[in-house]
Chain A
Amino acid sequence: MTESAGNKKEDCHAANGVKPGRNGMVKNHHHHHQYQKQEKVYHAACNGELYSRPFIESFEETPMLVAVLTYMGYGILTIFGYLRDFMREWKIEKCHIAREREEQKDFVPLYQDFENFYTRNLYMRIRDSWNRPICGVPGAKFDLVERSSKDYNWTFEYTGRVVKNVINLGSYNYLGFAENTGSCATAAGDVTVKFGVGVASTRQEMGNLDRHEELEKLVASFLGVESAMAFAMGFATNSMNIPAIAGKGCLILSDELNHASLVLGARLSGSTIRVFKHNNMQSLEKLLRDAIVHGQPRTHRPWKKILILVEGIYSMEGSIIRLPEVIALKKKYKAYLYLDEAHSIGALGPSGRGVVEYFGLDPKDVDIMMGTFTKSFGASGGYIGGRKDLIDYLRTHSHSAIYATSMSPPVLEQIITSMKCIMGEDGMTIGRSRIQRLAENTVYFRRRLREMGFIIYGNNDSPVVPMMLYMPAKIGAFGREMLKRNIGVVVVGFPATPIIESRARFCISAAHSKEMLDRALDVISEVGDLLQLKYSRHKALPSLDRPFDETTYEENEE
């Protein structure tokens, strides 16, 4: 039938022929007892046409007891939430939240929906795990301002103390470029002295500096595309440029778990949006076939264009897009591909060029390569790369180019210096060694966490590691207990994740040394025992700790 159906015969890619809700290798029963040798089995039996390296992704199913208890916990919190709302309504208790004015009580309510109920009664109780003020560089370690609350997190006061040297497992600092010393910071300082900080204009008017042109040429050569354009804000890159590319009469096929910026851009464009299941190529193919066979909804005319929106690494799941299959589908059905590499640029691939290089594909196959400079380059902003005529079109038709201020010179310089460092153009090997260290850290951290018995989602190579917590009380407890032991983590719950699948998300960095990771792992294990977080029912046998004397990419090419 199709190239992706060819994979169905291969049991090694367990997620291919299995139902969409059960993506993951753990359901592949006959490989179960060969867990230790699984990587070899995958590599030998893999579909060599599309995947040159093993693609190991797992999303272990929620244990039934844990799901039931989580729902029970949310039920108890909801009952108490109604009780507190009742007390607030009848003025038994003082109301701290925003309320409508007395004169507007008969109007359509502004503040009453479930998400607000959730914010008032559940989020507020554990709010001290978020919005923590940092007073230094968010590198591998940072300093935190201590806060306390007397009225259960409605207001905070500063105690005056600073918690020093908290290990940072939450910042998107994949290659460790968020630092205030070194060549990047010096270059940014020099440029500030020469150009100032503000640009005071948009790109189309007076805001086009020569450094912008140089950055764009550098980004284009980094990605291997003809031309690129840089914007000042990553979110705005997506939400302002998709409307310029797609419009009425176009079809957008977007992944279930796409980022809010992609969803907003798709909605603003006015195209028809259809959603396919996360990383599920059968679902995508079915949608493509239906679109081509049936055309537009009422008139049955052919679609003007079909645009597939996917991300390189999904940051809530830690999964990597099945890019070879998407490109095969796109070529077969003549659709266009928009790849958002916010988390994967700089973090994947032997020389950090992102998910396209990770799979060994041709960058010219991806029509629009978008990414951000926030994560691996330690700056802010986004870029779009592609063919020269596309980028020239965007320069004149993108809202971001016409209305938004262009990138500030110190940020520009940080990006240029860090990108040259990664490419190795400054003559040193810092970039290469950082990429290798990130890969080693990722594989080590994921392996150790899995051996301890936690449920970890995602691909083995992704530096974003989501660890499942499930129960609402454990979200707050985990954040607080980790901070007590001097480790800063990001915990996420509803509405960023499905309601019972709350998680703690670790972001591994090349700046983490092995000692820091070991300390973090010991603390996570301790807190995991204290809070009973080791839910995994697959006991992996610990493999020997191999010395990392070669890059982890080369050893897979045996």
Chain B
Amino acid sequence: MALGDAWKQLSWFYYQYLLVTALYMLEPWERTVFNSLLITVAAMAVYTGYVFMPQHIMAILHYFEVVQ
């Protein structure tokens, strides 16, 4: 079943992420704290990109004199 395989693959990736960042050794509440922090920072980065991307693209095009 494709969904089952995808789920297995995802949980293997999550296990590798836990091992590399040493979250494997931490207690569940510590993992929650770390993951929330990480997701918050990532979400803020994505949001900032979303808000400012049009301005940045216009500035680039203006620099290369593609658009006035």
Contact = CB atoms under 8 A, between A and B. Distances in A.
Interface of A: 69, 72-74, 76-77, 80, 83, 122, 125-126, 152, 471-474, 476-477, 531-532
Contact of B21 (A76, A126, A476, A477): A76
Contacts of B22: 73-74, 76-77, 471-473
Nearest to B15: A530
Most buried by A among B22, B23, B26: B22
Contacts of B20: 69, 72-73, 471, 473
A80 B21 contact: no
Interface in B1-57: 16, 18-27, 30, 34
A76 B21 CA distance: 7
Contacts of A472: 22, 25
A74 B25 CA distance: 11
Given A80-B30, A532-B16, A72 B25 contact: no
A122 B25 CA distance: 8
B34 A76 contact: yes
Contacts, number: 44
Nearest to B26: A80
Contacts of B19: 471, 473-474, 477, 531-532
Contacts of A125: 25-26
B21 to A, nearest CB: 6
Question: Chain B interface secondary structure, helix, strand, loop or mixed?
Answer: helix
A152 B27 contact: yes
8 contacts: A76-B23, A77-B22, A77-B25, A80-B30, A122-B25, A473-B24, A476-B24, A477-B19
Nearest to B24: A473
A531 B20 CA distance: 10
A10 B58 CA distance: 64
Nearest to B25: A125
B16 A476 contact: no
A80 B20 CA distance: 15
Contacts of B24: 473, 476-477
A473 B25 CA distance: 6
A77 B31 CA distance: 11
Nearest to A151: B27
Most buried by A among B19, B20, B27: B19
Contacts of B27: 152
Given A76-B21, A76-B34, A471-B19, 8 more contacts: A80-B34, A126-B25, A471-B22, A472-B22, A473-B23, A477-B19, A531-B19, A532-B19
B21 A72 contact: yes
A473 B18 contact: yes
A80 B24 CA distance: 13
B64 to A, nearest CB: 36
